[in-house]
Chain A
Amino acid sequence: MAEDVYKPGNLLTSLKRHAAAIATGLRYLLSTKRMTVRYPEFLIDLGEGYRGMIRWRRERCISCGLCAQICPAAAMKMYKLPGEKKMFPGINYQRCIFCGFCVDVCPAFALEHTPVHDLSYEELDEMIYIPERFDTEWVSPALKEGARPVKVVFDEEVGLRHEPK
């Protein structure tokens, strides 16, 4: 270990070190290893535990309001729907920090995380989901366009590898 500690050298040793650094760079330049996932064509499959967009199921919701109460970012809010006595939650993705508190606190399992995370919006208003819009299935736009899902594998040589799933 002690040999690895950096010691400032004289002119010759530092020249040698520079040469070594440049050689390492050149070696990487000539290798064909790549870690990038070419996103719209491939999509990393994030699996179950990922905290992405939140799915709400209206038929399960008991309108307890706990989700709105616990939300630390004030993203979840209760809305009154026309013709309904109960209030239902809606979410504002301008504020949501994907902490998952709402999912954890929901006593009726009406909220859950999905692995979908790659959405973009043209207008800020689109990011607010009132209960009518909230109760829909999330789909990754890339997957809809035909992206191939890949999974991440740790690799001794490259670091990360992506294998088709």
Chain B
Amino acid sequence: MTTGTIGRIVDFVLSPHIFAPLIYPGLLAATLVLLTLIWAERKMTAKVQLRYGPLYVLKPLGGAIQLIADAIKFMFQEPIMPRNADKWVFALAPVAMMAFTIIPFAFIPAAPGFVGVDVEYSLPLVLSLSALIPPLILATSWAANNKFTLLGGVREAFMMVAYEVSLFIAAFAVASYYGTLSLSKIVEAQSVPGIILNPIAAGVFFVTMLMTASKLPYDIVEGEQEIVAGPFTEYSGILYMLVMGASYMELYVLSLVFVELFLGGWKPVIPALASIHPAFEGISLFIKAYLVLLFAVFLRSVYARYRLDQALEIGWKKLFPLALLSVIWSLALLLVAGGA
């Protein structure tokens, strides 16, 4: 009986609708990405700035487990609740933020035919789920009741209108070319990588992706040197870990989408890995997404932060027209090629 129960539990865990959001490419893989990516970010930035970066935690590997040390520190740190904060919102918004970054994994196909919940409209669904995060950031900034968080919240509100529209239009430019809103169908239909077919959409999507996850040069919302940590100023301990992790998770989700839209998704498939679990067949997706992530965080060491007005100008005067142009480009391609 016990083996039967265990077998059923294992089957349950390995079934796509649990495996995808919780293990791969979801929570567990994302945690791994988080731990290694932030380390890599610090290490690369240090390298460019002629420094060492994290070094002393596991020195032979160049401080590779620094992030684990940091995570343990955050776990045991006292989460301080400001006296004048709106306590429920303050405590629950980070949790909700994390949740909204994990739910999309259920809809992102990870391998041919492997997706947690197969819906026809996965692309808009994933994008709109991550679009639910900015309002939560606004909620935290209001709830914390502090001038820095409020300034950060206002900046977030401005930024949100700057990138969200272009992000969606760029994604739909690709979708309109393939005539489907399903991520798995887009990947299947992609014989030439989307970045070659529609480089404008790829560029716009990449830049707005950076804006969404407020990574440099668009970390205007957090703006460490001017407004401490923006909306997250008052957070400490495990709640801070959640809000900080959420922005990286969001970047990870969007880079998965980026790879599926523009870099051929899980192609080339590696069938040998399917014997471990069908999801690992599409490991190329993960590797490509990781490379995109590495490039995205590497930009931190190249650029200085834009001002809010500059970012808004980029959003509305440059990215928005370019996004529209990418739609026209897609339609023109359709006319020329007569469909994908």
Contact = CB atoms under 8 A, between A and B. Distances in A.
Contacts of A38: 52, 55
Nearest to A23: B302
Nearest to A40: B56
A21 to B, nearest CB: 5
Contact of A29 (B52, B298, B303): B298
Contact of B51 (A25, A35, A158): A35
B49 to A, nearest CB: 8
Interface string B42-55: 00100111111001
A22 interface: yes
A21 B48 CA distance: 12
B29 interface: no
B302 A25 contact: yes
A42 to B, nearest CB: 12
Interface string B271-303: 000000000000000000000000000110111
A122 B3 CA distance: 56
A21 B300 CA distance: 12
Contacts of A158: 50
A133 interface: no
B80 to A, nearest CB: 22
A22 B302 contact: yes
A33 B50 contact: yes
Interface size class of B (residues with CB under 8 A): 10 to 19
Contact of A25 (B50, B52, B55, B298): B298
Given A21-B302, A22-B302, A29 B44 contact: yes
Contact of B50 (A21, A24, A35): A35
Interface size class of A (residues with CB under 8 A): 10 to 19
B52 A36 contact: yes
A21 B47 contact: no
Contacts of B44: 29
The CB with the most chain B CB atoms within 10 A, among A25, A34, A36, A158, is that of A25
Interface-central residue, B47, B49, B55, B299, by most chain A CB under 10 Å: B47
A159 interface: yes
A32 to B, nearest CB: 9
Nearest to B47: A29
Given A21-B303, A29-B44, A159 B50 contact: yes
A36 B51 contact: yes
A36 B298 CA distance: 20
Interface in A119-165: 158-159
Interface string A16-44: 00000110110011000111101000000
Q: Top 4 A-B pairs ranked by shortest CB distance?
A: A25-B302, A35-B50, A28-B48, A36-B51
Given A21-B302, A25-B48, A38-B52, 18 more contacts: A22-B299, A22-B302, A24-B302, A25-B301, A25-B302, A28-B47, A28-B49, A28-B50, A29-B47, A29-B298, A34-B50, A35-B50, A35-B51, A36-B50, A36-B51, A36-B52, A38-B55, A159-B50
10 contacts: A24-B302, A25-B298, A25-B301, A28-B49, A28-B50, A29-B47, A35-B50, A38-B52, A158-B50, A159-B50
